[in-house]
Amino acid sequence: MNLYKKSAASSSKARDDVLDFYRGIAIIGILVIHTAFWSGVAYTPVYFQSLMLLVDVPFFFFIAGASATYSSRSANPFTGIIRMFSFFLFIAILFLVLNSVATLLETSSAFFASLKIWTAGDHVRNILSAFSFGKPDYTYFPVLNGSFWFVPTYLSVFLFAQILIKVAPKALLPLGMILALVFLCGAEASKAWTGIAFLGTPAVTFIFYLFFVLLGFIAYKKDQSKIFKLIFGSVFFCCLVFMFTWQTDTISLQNYKFPPQRPYFIASLLAPMGALLLWNRCPKIGCIVRIGRNPIPYFISQGMSSTLLLQIAPHITLPWLLKFFVCFAINLGCSLVLAETALSLFVATKYVLRKISRRLLPREKAAGSLDKIPAP
């Protein structure tokens, strides 16, 4: 029985709670990684940092590929991209408003003067970047700034994958196997890839994450036991190749992440394998499911909270493992507060705009135009 039919039979809702749960796990995994690598790089050992990378961005792309099984059948399969653009635009405008308020009040208080950290031109560029494959410049939030490589990568890979699913669905499995062989054979290290990009994403990075999207799409549609055996065999084979190829005591996976290389590819297969093994056994915890349903607000909030943690972590003196858990708890708590606040403001803004449009426009046009703005 394929995974989609099984989850659809157990629930009449359009969304799959299992997918949302695992997407929430992926977002929390990214939060863990940023806790270990940004504020924790000075006190966490290399092997611990590498372990944290086992649930990383490739797992998020795997879940995105699984989600494409039902989004590709909808009237607008690019709703997720529209949602991302709309929320990035909202956040950019929100920063602009807050910065304008700080500008008006800076003469009365040094505190408000310290809040003025961008010019109007910076905000215009950041707003435009929300509608392009560029990168916003939030210099005062270095973790958020460092995370934005994900956005153009996700957009380019997801756009291409959706077109591929629509145009050539029978070619997905052969293409996925070819992409896997590129990394298993070490072809990603070839200089032939130099200078090649797709919508601003380097070719090696593009094919790496495209593989995980295709893997998620294929795995979600196929029989669970068979696809699990296939992935398990692939991981086992990859591990053998890894053991005979890389003769080092401690491998830092971060060194093989940008651009993606064979060790990172092998390690990234473990999370999808575990997800498929536990697919119908995982507890669908409500708060994690909610994070999975609102990944973009949490993605932005974790960048801001991880930046805040950079100022807090040096003042915490504890054994490294205990310090890590304390820092992660602080990071998670700040992310929850920031994300839920942003979500509430977004919903309130959408409500106000709907009310205004109904007064200014004919009722049918107003309802139709604003109802097209999806929740983040």
Whether the CA torsion 64, 70, 73, 79 is positive or negative: it is: negative
CA 161 to chain centre: 16
**Two tokens, residue 149:** 């490589």
What pLDDT was estimated at residue 312?
92
Q: Tokens at residue 290, please? A: 């909610």
Per the listing, tokens 């070819």 go with 178
For 42, the token pair is 């000075």
pLDDT in tens, 250-293: 678 888 898 898 888 888 888 888 888 777 777 778 899 999 99
Residue 68 has a pLDDT of: 83
- 186: region left, alpha or beta (phi > 0 left; psi from -120 to 50 alpha): left
Q: What angle do CA 119, 124, 126 make, to 5 degrees?
A: 95
287 φ, ψ (degrees, to nearest 5): -70, -35
E strands, 23-117, are: none
Predicted local confidence at residue 69, as pLDDT = 78
| Residue segments in the chain with a per-residue pLDDT below the cut of 70 | 1-14, 71-78, 102-124, 126-135, 222-229, 231-233, 236, 239-250, 362-376
The C-alpha atoms of residue 260 and residue 253 are separated, in whole angstroms, by 10
Q: In degrees rounded to 5, what are phi and psi of residue 197? A: -145, 160
CA pseudo-torsion sign 110, 112, 114, 120: negative
Q: Which pLDDT does position 67 carry in this prediction?
A: 87
Instruction: Please check whether residue 299 is in contact with residue 147, taking contact to mean a CB–CB distance below 8 angstroms.
Output: yes
* Per-residue model confidence (pLDDT) at position 32: 96
Percent of all residues in the chain with a pLDDT value above 90, rounded to a whole number: 26
User: How much is the pLDDT for 43?
Assistant: 93
> Rounded to an integer, what distance in angstroms lies between the CA atom of residue 115 and that of residue 109?
10
Handedness of CA 64, 65, 71, 72 (dihedral sign): positive
Give the rounded distance of the alpha carbon of 234 from its chain centre. Answer: 25
| Beta strand segments in 68-177, E | none
For residue 201, the cross-strand partners are: 198
Please state the pTM of the whole predicted model.
0.85
Q: What pLDDT, on the 0 to 100 scale, is given for residue 4? A: 41
* pLDDT at residue number 128: 67
Cα–Cα distance measured from residue 23 to residue 60, given in angstroms and rounded to the nearest whole number: 6
Say whether 197 sits in a helix, a strand or coil: strand
